[in-house]
Structure 1
Amino acid sequence: MDPISPDSIGRFLTVADASEILNISAAEVLELIRSAELPAISVGSPKRWRIERRVLEDYIEAKYEEARRMSLWQQADAASVHDLEDGRPRKR
């Protein structure tokens, strides 16, 4: 399947589009929407969810930032571990 380029789609993405971009199932995208982790709007009947492309890009950026902060936190936590024998910080 061809990757989705920003020029090939409009302002709003379907659940299937978001699923392909995030490489997760449509059910997982719907769960992100239902939990309000991924903002979306409901249009039409039955409910058809649409995710603004910019919102999805912001969501992805936020996940990268979350991963970066977690990595820094884990590095800081590991650096503060003291050797039990002499109480000095461990060198790595």
Structure 2
Amino acid sequence: MTTERFLQLADVAEILNISSSQTYALVRSGDLPAIKIGGRGQWRVERAELERYIERMYKETRDFVRSHPFTYTDNAEDELG
């Protein structure tokens, strides 16, 4: 993997282990900041923005877990699947 400043959406998808369409949706919704560059308007995500996004998702997940405590009546298979 490169250490370039900007990543293509395909690179972001690979890093997050999600589909290209999911990555595009994150960018188009504004959840993951990106820029359009070049004559064809290619999307690029700055590596630092991707890291901030990942940290934000960790925080949101921690907050979710704290506000939705796991109980033995929960079906763990549903959460993991």
Shift of 1:9: 2.7
Uncovered stretches (5+) of structure 1, i.e. residues with no partner = 79-92
For 2:37, the equivalent position in structure 1 comes to 43
TM-score (norm 1): 0.71
The answer to whether the aligner puts 1:13 opposite 2:7 as a matched pair is yes
For 1:85, the equivalent position in structure 2 comes to none
- % identity of equivalent residues: 44
Map Cα deviations across residues 31-79 of structure 1 (whole Å, 9 max, x no partner): 111111110000012110010001000000100100001111113xx7x
TM-score (norm 2): 0.80
1:56 to 45, 50, 58: 50
For 1:66, the equivalent position in structure 2 comes to 60
Moved over 6 A (4+): none
SS in 2 for 1:37: coil
